[in-house]
Amino acid sequence: MVLHIIRGIFLLTILALTYSVATSEIGIKGLGSGSQLTFFMIIPLMVGMIVVAADLLWRRKNLRAIGGLFFGLLAGLAIAYVLGLVVELIADVFPGEHTSVAAMIKTLIVTISVFVCVTFVMQTKDDFRFIIPYVEFAKQAKGARTMLLDTSVIIDGRIADMAETRIIDSELIVPRFVLAELQAIADSADKLRRNRGRRGLDVLNRLQKSDKIDISILDTHVREVDSAGDVDNKLLALARHVGGRVVTNDYNLSKIAQLRGVEVININDLANALKTVVLPGESITVKIIKPGEEPSQGVGYMADGTMIVVDQGRDHIGEEIAILVTSTLQTSAGRMIFGRWEESSAAQR
């Protein structure tokens, strides 16, 4: 929308400047008849329309930075000043009644230079920091490093609960290709996948409405990202490009990210780290839900979902009993606790 306004101002500026030059005393003297005056005004306008049409065909636009507009304006004026000096030198070499023509050429140079520089900087600001270090036209993030969300972690939904606790102080980034994958899942013919996709869109909408975090949709075009292949590879390439961290609950993606040197935050690992710590020798109360794999075992669960395997607990299914913790086991699927019915443990002792 803003670029369309810039294009309109660009064309109006060309028309106004050429009309001002043509109707001035010097312009009237140099042009003469009204047909020449009209022709003098139409040519710059047509040139401006050609420039705008070329810009429309080059559709990699990402208008977010006011700094890009400012820098492009300065660069365009600097280039126009240098080219204007060249035009003056040429006019001095060929003296004659060329004052109005030279003025028109300088006007076109100024307008086109500013327009091209502004649009170029605003469309390539993602790569601009490679040219000038420490200059990056992007939103100022709260935390030190941004966090890029994977499709799986958005569908999971726990990231929204984490955001409500204000523990996240970095900016959350959802790449456009992740959003496209989420929309494709929501439009799937499979009912389960469709429900998962719609849940992900609801979670994303909840994150955008939250005032406790900063979240944005990143629509970037970087060569190494576009050529990365599937969504996971694009996400890792983008994380390397922006120096961010990938947030996911995909075990395979976590391993690949570690191999490629990309920092990753796995929500499942975080959930396991926050589970209640139980040490061997402690006594806890658990409700036996179902029988275990061994003939005498019963299985129960803590409030955080940790599985507890109780020896001599098969006969107490549906009951809450006190057990003595004997050992714990940490696996990729989570933590498991092994214990023995406390009365049988006392009898053994």
* Domain harbouring 235, CATH code: 3.40.50.1010
Q: List, edge to edge, every strand of the sheet that includes 215-218.
A: 215-218, 172-175, 147-149, 245-248, 264-266
pLDDT of residue 56: 75
Q: Per-residue confidence at 74, pLDDT binned at 50, 70, 90? A: confident
For residue 136, pLDDT beyond 50: no
> Stretch 260-282: mean pLDDT, rounded?
83
Give residues with Cβ within 8 angstroms of 71, minimum separation 6.
121, 137
**Higher-scoring residue by pLDDT: 231, 41:** 231
CA gap 254, 247 in Å, rounded: 9
Residue 140 included in any domain = no
Residue 277 included in any domain = no
> Stretch 6-23: mean pLDDT, rounded?
78
CA gap 322, 340 in Å, rounded: 9
Residue 137 included in any domain = no
CA gap 242, 225 in Å, rounded: 11
pLDDT of residue 137: 44
Whether 159 and 220 map to the same domain: the answer is yes
Whether 157 and 233 map to the same domain: the answer is yes
Q: Per-residue confidence at 131, pLDDT binned at 50, 70, 90? A: very low
Residue 139 included in any domain = no
Q: What is the DSSP letter of 315?
A: G
Residue 296 included in any domain = yes
Domain total of the chain: 3
On the CB side of 32, CA atoms within 13 Å amount to 3
> Stretch 94-114: mean pLDDT, rounded?
73
Q: What would the 3-class secondary structure string for 211-272 be?
A: CCCCEEEECCCCHHHHCCCCHHHHHHHHHHHHCCEEEECCHHHHHHHHHCCCCEEEHHHHHH
Residue 23 included in any domain = yes
pTM over 0.85: no
Cα torsion angle, 174, 178, 183, 187, sign: negative
Whether 163 and 266 map to the same domain: the answer is yes
pLDDT of residue 154: 92
Whether 317 and 212 map to the same domain: the answer is no
Q: Per-residue confidence at 143, pLDDT binned at 50, 70, 90? A: very low
Q: How far is CA 28 from CA 101, 104, 225, 337, in A?
A: 12, 13, 55, 94
Q: Mean pLDDT check: name the lowest of 60-64, 122-126, 181-185, 208-212.
A: 60-64
- 204 in Cβ contact with 174 (< 8 Å): yes
For residue 202, pLDDT beyond 90: yes
In terms of Cα–Cα distance, which of 239, 300, 228, 241 is closest to 264? 239
- 246 in Cβ contact with 256 (< 8 Å): no
- Residue span of the structural domain in which 214 resides: 147-272
**Higher-scoring residue by pLDDT: 244, 135:** 244
- 125 in Cβ contact with 169 (< 8 Å): no
* Bridge partners of residue 297, in order along the sequence: 311
Q: Could you say which of 77, 106, 131 is where a domain stops?
A: 131
| Strand duo 215-218 + 283-291: pairing | unpaired
pLDDT of residue 48: 79
Whether 236 and 343 map to the same domain: the answer is no
> Stretch 45-53: mean pLDDT, rounded?
80
For residue 311, pLDDT beyond 80: yes
Q: Could you say which of 131, 157, 187 is where a domain stops?
A: 131
Whether 120 and 163 map to the same domain: the answer is no
Q: Mean pLDDT check: name the lowest of 189-198, 274-283, 285-294.
A: 274-283
Residue 248 included in any domain = yes
pLDDT of residue 155: 92
Q: Per-residue confidence at 201, pLDDT binned at 50, 70, 90? A: very high
**Higher-scoring residue by pLDDT: 300, 128:** 300
User: Angle at the Cα of 283 (from 280 to 284), degrees rounded to 5?
Assistant: 110
CA gap 118, 5 in Å, rounded: 13
Token reading at 267: 């929500």
Instruction: Tell me what the pLDDT averaged over the chain comes to.
Output: 78
On the CB side of 344, CA atoms within 13 Å amount to 16
Whether 180 and 267 map to the same domain: the answer is yes
Token reading at 305: 């979902």
Whether 263 and 151 map to the same domain: the answer is yes
Number of CB atoms found within 10 A of residue 84's CB: 17
Whether 119 and 46 map to the same domain: the answer is yes
> Stretch 1-29: mean pLDDT, rounded?
72
Residue 278 CB burial class (10 angstroms; 0-12, 13-18, ≥19): middle
Whether 266 and 292 map to the same domain: the answer is no
Whether 127 and 156 map to the same domain: the answer is no
Can you give the CATH number for the domain in which 342 is found? 2.40.50
Residue 278 included in any domain = no
CA gap 156, 204 in Å, rounded: 11
Whether 182 and 115 map to the same domain: the answer is no
For residue 225, pLDDT beyond 60: yes
Q: Could you say which of 77, 100, 131 is where a domain stops?
A: 131
pLDDT of residue 299: 92
Find the helix or strand (DSSP H, E) in which 24 lies: none
